[in-house]
């Protein structure tokens, strides 16, 4: 029986529960599988149970997930904007250092906007341009569309095509 549980569920069952959960999607919210028990397992308990089966790949995967999960909670951590890179990094300069350059792929990411760096524009200029684009889009939508009488979507006034 699990030394950290008041229930009668063995560590093997808990291991399989964690393994099943990690196959779908890793989470830090692993709960007891016993009905009417909502107990959440802490990091150390999960790690001990995973180690008991000597599944080093799953232990490493869970440790990596928890490390990244903790980093994501930090304000100075940012995921890089290159989806192929799948890396993040800490920004020591915070808001004073808006341009983050990936040490692996050298892609530039804007720390403020969490997007690829807007070359040739300061963050303020990018905000103005983006705000202007949104306003222009809303203006066009208001002038050229109307709400469909049969559903909540906008349709183009001339062609009656649905605009989503």
pLDDT of residue 78: 83
Q: Which two tokens stand for residue 59?
A: 């232990």
Domain boundaries, the chain: 1-70, 74-119, 123-163
pLDDT of residue 97: 79
The values of phi and psi at residue 37, to 5°, are -115, 125
pLDDT of residue 1: 43
| Of residues 26, 32, 40, the one with CA closest to residue 7 | 32
Q: Which two tokens stand for residue 112?
A: 């403020």
pLDDT of residue 161: 52
Place of tokens 């030394």: 3
pLDDT of residue 160: 53
pLDDT of residue 130: 83
Hey, which bits of the chain come out as E strands?
Answer: 77-79, 88-90, 99-101, 108-110, 115-116, 145-147, 154-156, 162-163
CA distance 29 to 42: 8
Long-range (24+ apart) CB contacts under 8 A made by 138-144 are none
The pLDDT tens digits along the chain (164 residues) read 444 445 566 677 777 777 777 676 677 788 877 777 778 888 888 888 888 777 788 888 888 888 888 888 888 888 877 878 777 888 877 667 788 888 888 889 888 888 889 999 998 898 888 887 778 888 888 888 888 877 777 888 776 555 54
């Amino acid at each position: 029986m699990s030394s950290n549980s008041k229930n009668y569920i063995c560590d093997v069952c808990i291991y399989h529960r964690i393994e099943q959960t990690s196959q779908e999607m890793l989470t830090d919210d692993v709960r007891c599988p016993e009905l009417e028990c909502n107990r959440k397992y802490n990091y150390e308990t999960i790690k001990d149970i995973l180690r008991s089966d000597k599944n080093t790949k799953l232990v490493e995967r869970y440790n990596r997930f928890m490390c990244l999960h903790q980093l994501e909670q930090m304000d100075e951590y940012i995921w890089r904007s290159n989806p192929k890179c799948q890396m993040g990094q800490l920004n020591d300069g915070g808001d004073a250092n808006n341009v983050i350059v990936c040490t692996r792929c050298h892609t530039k990411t804007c720390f403020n906007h969490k997007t690829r760096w807007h070359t040739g524009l300061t963050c303020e200029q990018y905000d103005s341009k983006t705000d202007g684009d949104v306003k222009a889009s809303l203006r066009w939508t208001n002038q050229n569309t109307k709400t469909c009488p049969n559903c909540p979507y906008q349709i183009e006034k001339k062609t009656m095509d649905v605009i989503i």
